[in-house]
Amino acid sequence: MGQLRPEAKMEALLFAAPEPLSLERMAELLEMPLWECEQVLYRFGQALQTQERGIELRFVAGGWQLVTKPELAELISGLAAKRSYKLSKPTLETLAIIAYRQPITRAEIEEIRGVKVEKALATLLEKGLIVEAGRKDTIGRPLLYATSTAFLEYFGLKSLEELPAIGRLCL
């Protein structure tokens, strides 16, 4: 493995990684100082910028991953089943409330929506779009819910700060 260029090793890591890799994790796996890993990442990203390449390096959900260039999405669309979550309107509303108000309890979500949300929460947990984020320090210690890394990945967000502004909505 010593003969390969650092960029080749990084490419292999990013290609094989099931989720975005942080700079710190890549430096650890590549056994190099953080500053050197950052330089290799920059050079690798620059090399992918050419028109001859069909992939690009993207920072999403707190880490780096290789993705198909957007202009080639249609070309590869038939290769794999799309990871489409056919979410109902009530489930999407529940997800939006969690995204903007996290961490939040089921009772707080139900107070906002005005209806029960157990089924929506179960669906979102099953799809991995939300996670249990501890317990609220109140009577009964209810579960808190928050969005997951998969939520950020699915919506192509680097962080929650990239969520669209909600203006003066009643959330």
End-to-end alpha carbon distance in the chain: 53
β-partners of residue 147 are 130
**Considering the entire predicted model, what is its pTM?**
0.56
The structure tokens listed for 91 are 């489930």
Q: Do domains 6-76 and 89-162 have the same CATH topology?
A: yes
What kind of architecture, by CATH, is found in domain 89-162? Orthogonal Bundle (1.10)
What kind of architecture, by CATH, is found in domain 6-76? Orthogonal Bundle (1.10)
Domain residue extents for the chain: 6-76, 89-162
Position 163 confidence tier, pLDDT thresholds 50, 70, 90: confident
pLDDT at 162: 85
Strand order in the sheet with 130-135: 104-105, 143-147, 130-135
Position 145 confidence tier, pLDDT thresholds 50, 70, 90: very high
Q: Is 128 exposed, middle or buried (0-12, 13-18, 19+ CB in 10 A)?
A: middle
DSSP H stretches of helix in the chain: 6-16, 23-30, 34-47, 73-76, 89-101, 106-113, 118-127, 149-155
Judged against a pLDDT cut of 90, whether residue 17 lies above it is answered with no
User: Residues 52-77: pLDDT tens digits?
Assistant: 888 888 888 888 888 888 887 777 77
Judged against a pLDDT cut of 90, whether residue 152 lies above it is answered with no
